[in-house]
Structure 1
Amino acid sequence: MKDLDDATRTELEAAAFRRLLEHLRERTDVQNIDLMNLAGFCRNCLSNWLKDAADARQVPLSKDESRTYVYGMPYEEWKARHQKDASPTQLDQFGKSKPGH
């Protein structure tokens, strides 16, 4: 990758990001708390990072718009369809592994 020009690197990174989003949209069984406990980030983090990148470039993008893009639907709709209550074990693990969250 170090030998790639910036435009090609950006295209590959963007393609990988889009594929990650597709994967997460298909894996609605994987809860955000599971992602946080395992990897330290979740769908909300991705949407926040996307908004941060837009803000840094002065591109208008609201929090709701960034979440809709990441989730593939409005966030409240995704929560109603797919989000489950976290178990005590998940919450305990989250409490132990949440650096900065």
Structure 2
Amino acid sequence: MISEKNNEQEWDLILYPGKSNLISDIRELWQYRELILLLVKKEFKIMYAQTMLGPVWLLLTPLMSSAVLSLVFGIAAGISTDGIPQFLFYYLGNILWQNFSGCV
């Protein structure tokens, strides 16, 4: 609360940042788990409300692009993946790329 005296302000309460550690942050997240779940569900419904495939599109997109990458780079260009199956190699790379590009 602020009390004004002759255009001077005196503060009754000063808040200082407390020490935050991982355990208290996890406890706080656990307390608000229902709110977080509700917000995630809402965002999920909004994101896929107007699509015919819905959440299947989330899995179908990297599968299709990985298949194309496997055909182009694996079969046509003959690029080696050092013993890793080509589709798995391109699928994991595609998932990582989509996560990175979505975050940025």
Normalised by the length of structure 2, the TM-score is 0.29
State TM-score, norm by structure 1: 0.29
Q: Larger Rg: 1 or 2?
A: 2
Bigger strand share: 2
